[in-house]
Structure formats: C-alpha cells, structure tokens
Amino acid sequence: MCSGRVDLEFILRAFANGMDGVFVGGCRLGECNYITHGNYHALNTVLLAKRILEHIGLNPERLQVAFMSSGEGLVFAREVDKFNQKVRELGPLATGEGADLLEVKAKLEAVRQLIPYIKVSERDKLSTPLKSEELYDSLFTLDEVESLLEEPLSYYIDPDKCQACGICARRCPVQAIEGAKGQVHVIDQDLCIKCGTCHEACPDRFGAVEELAGGAEVPPPLPPDQRSLPAKGGQS
C-alpha cells in the first residue's frame, strides 16, 4: 500500500486500541512510483500526529516514519529493530508516561472525532512537500495544534438566511443537519464533526451557514414549531 494512504485516523485508532507504538514506512522521498508523491503526505501526517500525541501527553517518539526502497530489506529491518528498541525503552502506552491509560484513550477518541476538521484546517500544510529535515519541527507547532484542538471552529445555520434547499443536509457526511422541505435547517452540534462541508456547500446567494471562531458560543436552535418557512408567494 502506498504510504500516502496512511490516514491520520489509522494512526490515532492504533493508539486508541492500545498499541505502544506505530511505525510508518514509505518509499524514499522524491522517488515515488506515482505522480502523487504520497510519501510526502505520509511524512506530514506523521509530523502532525506527533504533535497531537504530544498535546495528549504521549511521547511523540512512539510514532516514527522512515523511507526506503522496496529492495532495501536490510534498511527496513534495521529501522524496525531500532524502533522496537525505542518503544521498549518508553514502556507501555500511557503508563510509560505516568498517565492513566483510560484517560489517554478518552483523549484519543475525542481527537478522532475532530479528524475531518483537522484535515480541512491543515490541508495546505499536509500537502506541502518538505525538502529538508530542518523544516520538520517547524511545520506544525505545539501551540498551533493546541489551539486547533481546544478551540475548534463551529458552524451554525442562520434561520433568517436559510432557504431550506437541503444541499447542506445532503452533503453532511454524518447526517448532523436536521431539516425538511420548507423548514429551516438546524445543525445538531453533538453530531457535528466540524468538517466545514456545510459551509462550503451552502450556495453563495444564501450564505446561511456561518463559521464561528473557536470558543464562540453557538446560538440556540429554533424550536421545531418555529422552523417553517413562509410559502412562496406569501401563502401560508
């Protein structure tokens, strides 16, 4: 499998399932067999995941990425042995850091719920090829990740602008938008994964979906009995 298919979800799920370490191996940078150069994306995903682990309280050394050609079996074996030794030194997940395993798993699950939002927010950096190892540490900062996770954006449908076209509801990947024909649509904030799909899908001529800055209070939804839109032509 191309290392470019290694998703942030795969990495965090492995740790949430109790893995003590995760190793990602890919083709040498600049030597991709395809035009996608997915190994750069894999590298950036790992760098982001390392910052997330650090934010949670886990040692980022529990996650490593290495690059080699398919014919370099000895290099692969050496890198894996080195990684296994590092993981043994770190000890079991969470307890090796003096943390509670259940609390760490809960934090990992909370971050997993935000993965679509994280990937949208950081898509430019995730797709930026890094030409030097000196740039690795500066691509994602701990402050940036902490702000991203602690103050995520929220989305709200302005009832005065909603035209009940249903586009946002159809595009929502988790069916977090409530609404029917002729009714103002409402985002269920408990189900929303903050991916921003509704914001992008809402027609510009309506502009009903608002993007609220991290920490901003989301207005309460309209009660169900107040969501009906006036019929076109002024008829009720």
| 159 in the same domain as 142 | no
Q: Where are the beta strands (DSSP E) in the chain?
A: 22-26, 63-67, 154-157, 177-178, 186-187, 209-212
Q: What angle do CA 180, 185, 186 make, to 5 degrees?
A: 125
| 94 in the same domain as 11 | yes
Q: Which residue range forms the structural domain that includes residue 20?
A: 3-150
Listed in sequence order, the residues at least 6 apart from 182 whose beta carbon sits closer than 8 Å to its beta carbon are 164, 228, 229, 231
Q: What is the pLDDT of residues 91-144, one digit of tens each?
A: 999 999 999 999 999 999 999 988 988 998 898 999 888 888 889 999 999 999
**According to the model, what pLDDT value does residue 232 have?**
67
**According to the model, what pLDDT value does residue 100 have?**
96
| 22 in the same domain as 112 | yes
- Which of 94, 127, 150 is the C-terminal boundary of a domain? 150
| 158 in the same domain as 115 | no
Segment 207-235 mean pLDDT: 85
Task: Assess contact for 199 and 121: CB atoms under 8 A.
Answer: no
- Which of 123, 150, 177 is the C-terminal boundary of a domain? 150
| 161 in the same domain as 141 | no
Q: What is the pLDDT of residues 108-120, one digit of tens each?
A: 999 998 898 899 8
DSSP for 118-160, please give it. HHHHTHHHHT-----GGGHHHHS-HHHHHHHHHS--EEEE-TT
Q: What is the pLDDT of residues 58-81, one digit of tens each?
A: 999 999 999 998 888 999 999 999
Token digits of residue 119: 């990937």
| 144 in the same domain as 177 | no
Q: Is pLDDT above 60 for 236?
A: no
Burial of 120 (0-12, 13-18, 19+ CB in 10 A): middle
**Average pLDDT, whole number, for the chain?**
91
CATH value at residue 176: 3.30.70.20
- Which of 125, 150, 175 is the C-terminal boundary of a domain? 150
